[in-house]
Amino acid sequence: MDEGRGDHRPLAARMRPRDFDEFVGQEHILGKDRVLRRTIDRDTLTSIILWGPPGTGKTTLAEIIASRTNARFIPLSAVSAGVADLRKAVEAAQKLRSFSGQRTVLFVDEIHRFNKAQQDAILPYVESGEITLIGATTENPSFEVNSALLSRCRVFRLDPLSDSDVGILVRRALEDDERGLGGRELDADDDALDHLVRLAGGDARIALTALEMAADAAPEINGRRTVTTELVEDAMQRPALLYDKTGDMHYHLISAYIKSVRGSDPDAAVYWLARMLEAGEDPLFITRRMIILAAEDVGLADPAALSLAVACQDAVHSIGMPEGYLPLTECTLYLAAAPKSNSALVAYGRAQKDVAATLNQPVPLHLRNAVTGLNRTMGYGKGYRYAHDFDGHHVEQQYLPDALAGRRYYSPTSEGAEDQIGARVRRMRGDAP
């Protein structure tokens, strides 16, 4: 059907993939060697919950599953459906199965919005297999779906689409004469499409909706219309920021962010964070840099910084954007304001240098594994002094190879918590106070 004749559904609905050959992304669960794909292809699928951000293909995947398994597909929205709707769907499924043997896939969108009574109402039929439940949720099922129902479903996590994935879908919509915009006299600047993809943040629905709005608004010149960056910005209601995830600006901004945190300037650090996020940077890329910063630049001056950075990554991965800016900002401010020490970096560098220079130094006999009788007869473990048998749980003995005995790699700073750590290390080393 021509896009302009009769089908008034939004572009995102018209371009919904009809089978796996049109589905983009989620290779980690839909690759041909993955369990979910195999159970779909073999028509042995059991009840599942699809968990992921908006626009990543949860509804589309459910429809493909239903079509490939020759099951009847009953869609419900947890926003509007109640217990009566669930019972009606179950009754229809029971009648269909008794009459023709055909199975029913009950798709419940936003299943996290079902209350306990609604989840309990569907539980017996999921357990008996009278229906195959496919639930879709943007929220963590561990918190939003009761344990009884969750235990009877396999949870599959969908990731935000990559920019390249969204780009494929956008360009497909531009070229498709049957369902997309290919029937129009329409052009699109590469820069405009790249900007559209970047601002979509991995949400295909947002990208396609904005593309359609921009195409509708494009002025006709000499019989053709052109989607420009300005039209994309207007459709997305977001200004353009000079940025390229694979170019110089990407590296310039993350460098400025890292150096601002390292330099203990929380104001500059949060500014560069905002610059990256507003331009569409992958927030998980930023969290990876935070973890490195916490270990490399804050280090033992505040050992809690590393735990906070890892927690930030988990939080951003769990809740996604846009709310993910909150843990990102909190962690940025904490890291920037924390005392700084790069002693871990320095210590490893020194040790690495000696490893490269001395290569395979033998492990001292008293430190070797003495678990077997043969090892013990060879003197392995002999003379080892168990630290917990001594006052202060510490005892002097050689731990480095003979060629490196007495070497010092770790030089504690006096910053923050490392001041106390350093005092203990110096005391154990017998260094002068």
89/103 same-domain check: yes
Residue 9 falls inside a structural domain: no
315/425 same-domain check: no
Cβ-contact 383, 365 below 8 angstroms: yes
Residue 363 falls inside a structural domain: yes
pLDDT number for residue 308: 95
Pick from 192, 207, 236: which residue ends a domain? Answer: 236
59/100 same-domain check: yes
SS3 letters for 190-239?
Answer: HHHHHHHHHHHCCCHHHHHHHHHHHHHHCCEECCEEEECHHHHHHHHCCC
* Total domains in the fold of the chain: 4
320/361 same-domain check: no
Cβ-contact 169, 175 below 8 angstroms: no
CATH number of 186's domain: 1.10.8.60
DSSP 243-286: --TTSHHHHHHHHHHHHHHHTT-HHHHHHHHHHHHHTT--HHHH
pLDDT number for residue 287: 95
- What one-character DSSP code corresponds to residue 301? G
Residue 411 falls inside a structural domain: yes
Pick from 337, 360, 383: which residue ends a domain? Answer: 337
Confidence (pTM): 0.54
39/144 same-domain check: yes
Cβ-contact 62, 134 below 8 angstroms: yes
C-alpha triplet 181, 183, 188: angle, nearest 5°? 50
Residue 387 falls inside a structural domain: yes
Q: How many helices (H) and strands (E) does the chain have?
A: 20, 8
376/317 same-domain check: no
Burial class of residue 262 in the structure, from the number of CB atoms within 10 Å of its CB (0-12 exposed, 13-18 middle, 19+ buried): middle
Could you read off the pLDDT tens digit of each residue along the chain, which spans 433 residues? 444 445 678 888 888 888 888 888 888 988 888 988 998 888 888 889 999 888 888 888 988 888 888 788 888 888 888 888 888 888 888 888 888 888 888 888 888 888 888 888 888 888 888 888 999 988 888 877 888 888 888 999 998 888 889 999 999 998 888 888 887 878 888 888 888 888 887 888 888 988 888 888 888 888 788 888 888 888 887 655 555 555 567 788 888 999 999 999 889 899 899 988 887 788 999 999 999 999 999 999 999 999 999 999 999 998 888 899 999 999 999 999 999 999 899 988 888 888 888 888 888 888 788 777 777 778 788 888 888 888 888 888 888 888 888 888 888 888 888 788 878 878 887 776 6
Q: Compute the distance between CA of residue 197 and CA of residue 213 in angstroms, rounded to an integer.
A: 14
Residues 319-372: pLDDT tens digits? 888 899 999 999 999 999 999 999 899 988 888 888 888 888 888 888 788 777
pLDDT number for residue 12: 87
pLDDT number for residue 130: 85
Give residue 362's domain range: 349-429
C-alpha 15 chain-centroid distance: 25
32/143 same-domain check: yes
* Bridging pattern class, strands 104-109 and 224-227: unpaired
Pick from 190, 216, 236: which residue ends a domain? Answer: 236
Q: Compute the distance between CA of residue 425 and CA of residue 368 in angstroms, rounded to an integer.
A: 24
Residue 186 falls inside a structural domain: yes
Structure tokens that stand for 38 in this block: 């195999």
Cβ-contact 150, 142 below 8 angstroms: yes
CATH number of 380's domain: 1.10.3710.10
pLDDT number for residue 310: 96
Q: Compute the distance between CA of residue 338 and CA of residue 298 in angstroms, rounded to an integer.
A: 7
Q: Compute the distance between CA of residue 102 and CA of residue 42 in angstroms, rounded to an integer.
A: 15
30/152 same-domain check: yes
33/127 same-domain check: yes
219/296 same-domain check: no
CA atoms within 13 A on the CB side of 101: 0
68/151 same-domain check: yes
273/395 same-domain check: no
pLDDT number for residue 388: 87
CATH number of 96's domain: 3.40.50.300
Structure tokens that stand for 429 in this block: 């080393």
